[in-house]
């Protein structure tokens, strides 16, 4: 099992926008290893709003490679294909949705530090900046927020704070629980949970991949569709949860 923390930056928030930066850090015995980071030419201009956030300009990216031609593509494709791996990030479904635009869907489990922090700390504000200040996660360490590498480092520190309140497996369960309540029109008559459609007739989910715009729903589609063979003909929520956590 691999445990990785990821963060991405985009050229903008429109449908044509693509990833311009990624950082990946693997956890070993709770410690964050060396962070792999890369810059990519998205093939479209960086929107002004996005530049204000991450400060990555078209000039910086013009000679960078396309993401799909890099080792990052092969690395993530391999990691995301293993259901036992755990992918960690702050609002992680947004990052997975961005990466899915590059042709890589994630069927691994997740820990969403934003969702977990909201539930555990009962705070209305959940940005990484706010939580870092509220819980003094950074201290005197020089970390640049709104960069992929910086946000991976802060996410790791937030994870350690969350682990004071829940076990690692409990954070996985907490993060995964909401996806069992997401539903779609499965048979033309009424909505059914995504996991239920995947268990009984996974091909009915295929059409939704090209139309769904919600990152959380997209992850649910990918996760349950990608693992459907494990729980074929199982329609009980808790039975499916048990099988997927084995």
Instruction: Determine the Cα–Cα distance for residues 87 and 79; give it in Å rounded to an integer.
Output: 9
Q: In the prediction, which pLDDT does 187 show?
A: 59
pLDDT of 83 reads 96
The enclosing H or E element of 87 equals strand 86-89
Query: Alpha helix locations (H) across the chain?
Result: 48-54, 58-61, 71-80, 92-100, 113-121, 128-134, 148-162, 168-176, 194-200, 215-226, 237-244
Gap between the terminal Cα atoms of the chain: 12
Q: What is the pLDDT of residue 51?
A: 86
Full set of structural domains in the chain with CATH: 3-176 (3.30.420.10), 181-244 (no CATH)
Give the per-residue pLDDT at 21. Answer: 96
Q: What is the mean pLDDT of each run of 10 residues along the chain (246 residues)?
A: 96 88 94 95 89 88 94 96 97 96 96 97 92 90 87 96 97 97 77 92 91 95 96 91 89
Q: Residue 49: how many CB atoms within 10 A of its CB?
A: 9
Residue 50: predicted pLDDT:
82
Question: So what's the pLDDT on residue 15?
Answer: 83
* Helix pair 168-176, 113-121: axis angle to 10 deg: 100
Residue 143: predicted pLDDT: 86
Please give the pLDDT value at position 188.
62
Looking at residue 70, its pLDDT comes to: 96
pTM: 0.94
């Amino acid at each position: 099992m691999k445990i990785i923390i990821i963060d991405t930056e985009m050229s903008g928030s429109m449908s044509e926008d693509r990833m311009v930066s990624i950082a990946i850090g693997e956890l070993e015995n709770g410690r964050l290893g060396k962070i792999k980071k890369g810059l990519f030419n998205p093939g479209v201009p960086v929107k002004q709003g996005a530049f204000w956030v991450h400060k990555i300009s078209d000039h910086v990216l013009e000679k960078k490679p396309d993401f799909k031609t890099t080792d990052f593509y092969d690395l993530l494709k391999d990691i995301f294909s293993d259901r036992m791996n755990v992918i960690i990030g702050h609002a992680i479904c947004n990052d997975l949705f961005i990466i899915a635009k590059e042709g890589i869907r994630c069927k691994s489990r997740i820990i969403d530090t934003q969702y977990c922090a909201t539930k555990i700390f009962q705070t209305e504000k959940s940005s990484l900046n706010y939580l870092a200040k509220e819980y003094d996660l950074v201290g005197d360490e020089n970390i640049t927020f709104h960069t992929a590498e910086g946000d991976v480092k802060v996410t790791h520190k937030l994870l350690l704070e969350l682990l004071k309140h829940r076990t690692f497996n409990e954070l996985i369960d907490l993060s995964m629980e909401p996806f069992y309540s997401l539903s779609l029109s499965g048979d033309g008559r009424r909505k059914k949970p995504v996991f239920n459609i995947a268990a009984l007739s996974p091909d009915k989910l295929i059409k939704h991949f090209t139309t769904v715009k919600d990152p959380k729903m997209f992850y649910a589609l990918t996760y349950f569709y990608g693992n459907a063979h494990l729980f074929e003909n199982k329609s009980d929520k808790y039975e499916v949860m048990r099988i997927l956590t084995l």
